[in-house]
Amino acid sequence: MIFEFMTIDTPLPPCMAFPRALTGFPVSSTAKIMYCRMLDAMLSNGQEDENGILFVCFPVTAIAAVLSRSSMTVKRSLNELENAGLIMRVRQGVGEPNRIYVLIPGKEDAALA
């Protein structure tokens, strides 16, 4: 493998945002990475609901494939994120993926990190 030292002019490879407040949340590493991936998807190609709020439709099987995790691990991590108040899932019709609203941690959460 060829390595390259960074200089001030070195362009960074594509990156995802990792909110600093996440470091203090009591969720698994998989849940944290999943949150970052959903945040990235929402910012790059999220949809607006009728109130102008961004959401993403990310089926469990698609998240599992992107993160190289099992569907059961993805479901467990989604529950962790929802219980921690980092996402909100809104059920759609039968056979439709949930709308996932990626919530931004509050200032008091950022102070804990």
- pLDDT computed for residue 25 by the predictor: 86
Residue-range domains of the chain with CATH: 23-102 (1.10.10.10)
- pLDDT computed for residue 80 by the predictor: 96
- pLDDT computed for residue 107 by the predictor: 61
CB 35 within 8 A of CB 87: yes
- pLDDT computed for residue 72 by the predictor: 97
Closest CA to 56 of 69, 70, 39: 39
Residue 61 has pLDDT above 80, yes or no: yes
- pLDDT computed for residue 110 by the predictor: 47
Is the backbone of residue 68 left (phi > 0), alpha (psi -120 to 50) or beta?
A: left
Helix (H, G, I), strand (E, B) or coil at 54: strand
CB 112 within 8 A of CB 22: no
Q: Predicted confidence band at 28 (pLDDT cuts at 50, 70, 90)?
A: very high
**Pairwise CA distance, residues 50 & 54, whole Å:** 10
**pLDDT by residue (tens digit) across 70-103?**
999 999 999 999 999 999 999 988 888 899 999 9
List, as own/partner pairs, every contact residues 71-78 make where C-beta atoms lie below 8 angstroms and the sequence separation is at least 24, other chains included.
73/30, 74/34, 77/27, 77/28, 77/30, 77/31, 77/34, 78/31, 78/34
**Pairwise CA distance, residues 22 & 31, whole Å:** 10
pTM of the full predicted structure?
Answer: 0.81
